Structure 1
């Protein structure tokens, strides 16, 4: 009876965690359909239909269609991401935040509080131009100062609720809560995408060869992302030991893409944000320069590709340096008496690890740029309607891989208990044979 008890508790815990994730996703999707009070949804829907592509479509994808419905979740978790990056960068510049970063768990808890406060401030700031744009474009049923206030508060509250919901998923569910919400928002658009593709095929607007190419490209990009995300460079590290050989060796695994999926996200935001901000102050009909910039920075254009690759390169190095600090790792090795074979401890070790990370970051940049720009190549050169953006596919695959790895981590104690139980059973059988 005692042997089976831990196994049942482990299975029930995993089941409850998965059910909580599904419930949280359901709450998120319900919130994405709650519109702001006083918005004319008919006019807003026509506007999004006429202005497909560009900055609004990019934000609408990450909000799971909440922006096109102008729901309370329209801002998404963008303000939190911006605040998180700002706090992380400032923790390397400001001495006070740097001290908190080095304090461990307690310091990170305080940094998290600062991030929440900054996210609220950013959400309030971003909600102001959204409310003003709704008023100026006639998307409001009864324009008044009260609408301006209620819209700003509603949007900021929606963002903070999503942040709280993501934290609950991280604590009580499986996977990173913020990533799970982004995943839910992106995948909610997939049924419409598949429906559009097969409707085009049934009406004869899409040839069978083009459909096969699209499905094959999705499969190949997914397999390529999985391969690259699992790729590692292992650095051998020797530790002092009392074993007869005098030392033991471990490895330091460094991922090819240590920056994760954030560089493509911020690269697209950096491309589209200036145009979005400019749109709040002038209309395309009044500014030929804005028209030209909008056309040149559309996905599939050469300038768009150049700017996106440059932005991915910049953010990849930034996020890689934030993820792993060679100086701190070298200092920890030196304190523990460990070393990399053939490399002197101290600054030489730090330089060596930094060089390896720089080379890996270069491969990561090429990998991310390829995945992000390949779908645009299909659209611009082959004239194939590839509705699956490279950034969205990348996020979906990485989140699923992270979910599976954390699920396996929760199953490890159960598997270990099962192995111990089998070991005890085989031991009893051996004793019975000897008897």
Structure 2
């Protein structure tokens, strides 16, 4: 009976921690929703429905340029900074180990602030005629401050909530979807094609999430264990929805540069780079290339074969036919390259289905852009579900350890 009572106590504490995390995340979402409805002083609320890929790209990182508000920049500057820092860290892991947590935090915030200033000016500059006497510098200060507050909220949610920045991105996407007034005039044929595409893409995304590659090794600490019980488990797509968010963030930066360069060359302040639209083959190709490359690089960072090889050498584990140390590192690096390349290529092919359809059927560009957001929305929800399961798993063991540490 004592063991049963202890098990019930552990289970109760396990769910209590999860409820606390969910509550914190919900509070963060409430703050985000309130902030996204606070328009900047001197700017009238714009009624233009987001239509370009840049609008969609920004909404997929929690931003919104349909209405200039406190959180219009979303998490784009932060996600871009995190992506660049992760890739730089992977190239020089030894140097990264010498940095303190304070130094890494300062570097991250500095580059996030720099990108926020650049993106904020880009968002505000085309609307200077609508400021009604308010200086652009003051508005830039507000919008950049809002972006940094949002970054802080996402950072806190990583520690005390669920899924870090993902809930903010999800709410931003839902808001963007409901802003599409054109959805009210979708025909039956368009709905049928869209639903069919969405189901196909979702099934494929769930399929790629479930696939994993296993590398068997010998556990010298337990000679009675067979190879079937000891293996490295690598998901085909370890980057999950992170690669998508980073791709949209990077694409927004590329589009921003294209806008600036186009305005400078043509002298037209209203210049729109047509090649960056969803129904243009160049824009789709650029996005897919970015998605595949970022997915490959982020997967490599997350798999981290160098660290795994060092862990093997320290513990004495080995792979049959492979010497410990350098040979193991080379072998795992080759396998991780193969897995990352296959996963990135498959994800690119899956996401190309709705994008290529938008090129072929020009009249469905608006509708398909919304359906793409629906797909990404559900895909991120799947990742959040996996995160909740992970919390439950680790919280269960933490409660178990806590109960014995008190004895």
TM-score category of the 2 structures, normalised to the smaller one: 0.7 to 0.9
Query: Whole-Å Cα distance in 2 between the matches of residues 14 and 152 of structure 1?
Result: 38
Change (3 A) 1:140 1:294: same
Partner of 2:118: 125
1:369 pairs with one of 329, 335, 348: 348
| Native 8 Å contact 1:167 1:178 kept in 2 | yes
Per the normalisation by structure 2, the TM-score is 0.83
Query: Whole-Å Cα distance in 2 between the matches of residues 9 and 180 of structure 1?
Result: 24
Change (3 A) 1:356 1:388: farther
Query: Whole-Å Cα distance in 2 between the matches of residues 39 and 184 of structure 1?
Result: 23
Query: Whole-Å Cα distance in 1 between the matches of residues 87 and 110 of structure 2?
Result: 16
Deviation at 1:372, TM superposition (A): 2.5
Deviation at 1:413, TM superposition (A): 7.3
**CA deviation profile, 1:320-342 (whole Å, cap 9, x unmatched):** 33223323322321221111122
Per the normalisation by structure 1, the TM-score is 0.78
Equivalent residues in 2 for 1:227-306 (5 A)? 227-241=207-221, 243=223, 249-280=229-260, 283=263, 286=266, 294-306=273-285
Deviation at 1:162, TM superposition (A): 0.7
Partner of 2:313: 334
Change (3 A) 1:274 1:401: closer
Residue 33, structure 1, aligned to residue 37, structure 2? yes
| Native 8 Å contact 2:120 2:140 kept in 1 | yes
Deviation at 1:305, TM superposition (A): 3.4
Deviation at 1:116, TM superposition (A): 2.1
Residue 154, structure 1, aligned to residue 142, structure 2? yes
Query: Whole-Å Cα distance in 2 between the matches of residues 417 and 56 of structure 1?
Result: 43
Partner of 1:429: none
Deviation at 1:110, TM superposition (A): 4.2
2:165 pairs with one of 163, 178, 185: 178
Secondary structure in 2 aligned to 1:340?
A: coil
Partner of 1:396: 377
Query: Whole-Å Cα distance in 2 between the matches of residues 283 and 158 of structure 1?
Result: 27
Deviation at 1:313, TM superposition (A): 3.3
Partner of 2:360: 381
Deviates more, 1:31-40 or 1:308-317: 308-317
**CA deviation profile, 1:286-335 (whole Å, cap 9, x unmatched):** 479x97x9333322333233333332333233223322332332232122
Query: Whole-Å Cα distance in 2 between the matches of residues 28 and 77 of structure 1?
Result: 11
2:132 pairs with one of 141, 146, 149: 141
Query: Whole-Å Cα distance in 1 between the matches of residues 59 and 109 of structure 2?
Result: 23
Change (3 A) 1:346 1:247: same
| Native 8 Å contact 2:213 2:235 kept in 1 | yes
Equivalent residues in 2 for 1:47-126 (5 A)? 48-49=48-49, 52-63=51-62, 66-92=64-90, 97-100=95-98, 107-108=100-101, 110-126=103-119
Change (3 A) 1:395 1:210: closer
Q: Which has the higher contact order (CA 8 A, sep 6+)?
A: 2
Change (3 A) 1:174 1:309: closer
Query: Whole-Å Cα distance in 2 between the matches of residues 403 and 108 of structure 1?
Result: 27
Change (3 A) 1:83 1:270: closer
Which consecutive aligned stretches of 4+ in structure 1 deviate over 6 angstroms post-superposition? 245-248, 413-419
Query: Whole-Å Cα distance in 1 between the matches of residues 275 and 43 of structure 2?
Result: 32
Aligned pair count reads 392
Query: Whole-Å Cα distance in 2 between the matches of residues 241 and 363 of structure 1?
Result: 33
Q: Which runs of 5+ in 1 are unaligned?
A: 102-106, 420-435
Query: Whole-Å Cα distance in 2 between the matches of residues 14 and 375 of structure 1?
Result: 36
Change (3 A) 1:74 1:82: same
Q: What RMSD, in angstroms, separates the aligned Cα atoms of the two structures?
A: 3.4
Query: Whole-Å Cα distance in 1 between the matches of residues 226 and 290 of structure 2?
Result: 48
Structure 1 or 2, whichever has the larger Rg, is 1
Secondary structure in 2 aligned to 1:240?
A: coil
Partner of 1:427: none
Secondary structure in 1 aligned to 2:273?
A: helix
Deviation at 1:282, TM superposition (A): 5.1
